[in-house]
Amino acid sequence: MLRYLLNKIALLIPTLVGITICAFAFVRLLPGDPILAMAGEHGVAPARYEELKQQFGYNLPIWEQYARYVGEVATGDFGVSISSKRPVLEEFKTLFPATLELSFFAMVFAMVIGIPAGIFAAVKRGSWFDQSLMGTALVGYSMPIFWWGLLLIIFFSGYLGWTPVSGRIGLQFFFKPITGFMTIDSLLYGKWDAFRSALSHLVLPAIVLGTIPLAVIARQTRSAMLEVLGEDYVRTARAKGLSGARVIGVHALRNALIPVVTTIGLQVGTLLAGAILTETIFAWPGIGKWMVDSIFKRDYVVVQSGLLLIALIVMAVNLIVDVLYAVINPRIRAA
């Protein structure tokens, strides 16, 4: 197992180096002078220009600049945001829990509906339910989620007035973050109305972000179940006279869930890409909106480090999924 893990990590090293090269190259590939680009329309005084050039190390040879950059990143120095003047890592730490909370609820939404629906569709294969579920799943899979979000706002916030249009929590609530999760923090402080406010802000974005994973999970669960239901051991279990629910719930489901778990893990990239759109629509203060805002503010230090941090997260999660997969399924380890 340890060998498998080390092997996996070794394979990631070239990707890791590549990611840092990409992030490093990003600022240098921007059209024009990077310092002038960052300064934007206001320009910069010649003396300050030289000073910045020294500070960012643009006068050094390119490989030395890269070595310097890797050194900085390795010691946790991700630069200082041009627009907010705060360290990028600090901003990231305050914003990331918002994205994490949103993604968590989106995944819960997708799994709680997707897995049972997929199982039921497989058991009732070819039925009315199966056909309409697969049809709906394909619609969900084809959904432009930025539009889906706007539609939900029109209906639930505009027409019915049930949910707020944007943000994470009502403006009247303010407390010092403990975990950074509004739903948990509000409970820790014992404020029920704040908790309700946080939940009502969370519902629509979580549905929007969870839609594509929901479609993928439902389809994957259905096909995995169909495959397993045809296996000999399921037939044996049936022949032994076990109840239908037990055969499906214990014998079939446990085996069918392995590919589903992998699919769920692989949705992380989709979630983070979706978070860019979802957070923009709902003004959700997470890292997706942070990236888009920074692009428009020409805060390229944030874009550069955000790109790096997000790629690292995706990589780490994929590694965890791989390892979990190997833990569940010993056949993978041997290979």
Question: Could you tell me the smallest distance in angstroms from the CB atom of residue 192 to another protein?
Answer: 29
- The number of residues making up the chain comes to 335
Q: What is the dihedral of CA 106, 311, 318, 140, to 10 degrees?
A: 30
Decide if residue 128 touches another protein (CB under 8 A): no
Token pair 């020409």 is found at 298
Within 13 Å, how many C-alpha atoms sit on residue 39's CB side? 14
What the block records as the tokens of 261 is 């778990």
Binding residue for another protein (CB under 8 A) from 80, 82, 314, 332? Answer: 314
| Residue ranges in 52-111 that form contacts with another protein under rule CB under 8 A | none
Decide if residue 126 touches another protein (CB under 8 A): yes
Nearer to another protein, 141 or 173 (CB): 141
Decide if residue 10 touches another protein (CB under 8 A): no
5: CB partners within 8 A, 6+ apart: 323
Distance of alpha carbon 139 from alpha carbon 43, whole angstroms: 48
| Residue ranges in 141-200 that form contacts with another protein under rule CB under 8 A | 141-144, 146-148, 150-151, 153-154, 157-158, 165
User: From the centroid of its chain, how far is CA 135?
Assistant: 26
Binding residue for another protein (CB under 8 A) from 6, 62, 139, 320? Answer: 139
| Residue ranges in 249-288 that form contacts with another protein under rule CB under 8 A | 269-270, 272-274, 276-277, 280
- Under rule CB under 8 A, how many of the chain's residues touch another protein? 45
Distance of alpha carbon 257 from alpha carbon 111, whole angstroms: 11
What the block records as the tokens of 236 is 């044996």
Binding residues vs another protein (CB under 8 A): 14-15, 18-19, 22, 26, 29-31, 126, 135, 138-139, 141-144, 146-148, 150-151, 153-154, 157-158, 165, 269-270, 272-274, 276-277, 280, 291-292, 295-296, 303, 307, 310-311, 314-315
